[in-house]
Amino acid sequence: MSNSNGKVAVVTGATGGIGFAVCQRLGKDGYTVILNGIDDAAGAEKVAALQNEGITAEYYGFDVTNEEAVNSNINKIGEKYGKIDVVVNNAGGLGGRMRFEEMTTEFYRNVMALNLDSTFFISRAAIPYLKKGENATIINYTSNATWNGGGPGAGVYATSKAGVQAITRAMAKDLAEYGIRVNAVSPGTIDTPFHAQIKATKPEVFASWKDSIMLGRLGEPNEVANVVSFLAGNDSSFLTAETIQIGGGQALGI
């Protein structure tokens, strides 16, 4: 299933959970998939797994919060392929929990960098190559925390994801004249290694999460990947500046 449509997708944070599911789906859609991560061993393993499925894939190891590393790697990718068609800003995370009173400036900056700076750095570097792409698009990741302020100690995570929500709309305005669409997905509670610690240490808390989800279960990584695939493709050609909730109705509460 080599690159039948000649399109190139860059997925950050691609070696785990949702990111890898996105790579599998886009690969099956016919994209050449460029995986980014910071665990080079996992990167090699995931690329091999994709290649075994007949997907054309490559791994670039770099830290998405490092401006110079982002610029040099995105330029290498863009120059190699002559364009980029899809950017999926999947990298991000909670970064830990800390309440505002005791929050260090270093912690604040690290979480903002992981979620918001990374989205800005990757997108900015990719824009010249997206301009050469076909139905080019950027897909960002926001969160329910954008609306509800986050759980205990996750206030700066919520703040950073609210920034992603705003930059999604702002970039959509900025890039519309080039035909580049910018949208976001907002995954609810998805059963991934992201939640492994609480699943192991507080299984009753983990089990209770589904009680706040209308559909009565947690999401699966492929259910996020399916929506990313839709946003990347021609079926969403008139969709920009949108955020799609993928949470089984969780955002409304029950």
**Alpha helices per DSSP H over the chain:** 17-28, 40-52, 67-81, 105-112, 118-130, 145-148, 155-175, 196-201, 203-208, 221-232
236: its two tokens:
């969403």
User: Which pLDDT band holds residue 254 (cuts at 50, 70, 90)?
Assistant: low
Catalytic residue among 7, 46, 83, 161: 161
pLDDT higher than threshold 70 for residue 2: no
Write out pLDDT tens, residues 40-72.
999 999 999 999 999 999 999 999 999 999 999
**Every domain of the chain and the residues it spans:** 8-252
Q: How far is Cα 254 from Cα 252, in angstroms, rounded to an integer? A: 7
Is 177's pLDDT higher than 50? Answer: yes
Q: Which residue(s) pair with 9 in the sheet?
A: 33, 86
For residue 161, indicate whether it is catalytic: yes
**Active-site residue, from 157, 173, 202, 210:** 157
Q: Which amino acid is at 82?
A: G
Task: Say whether domain 8-252 belongs to CATH 3.40.50.720.
Answer: yes
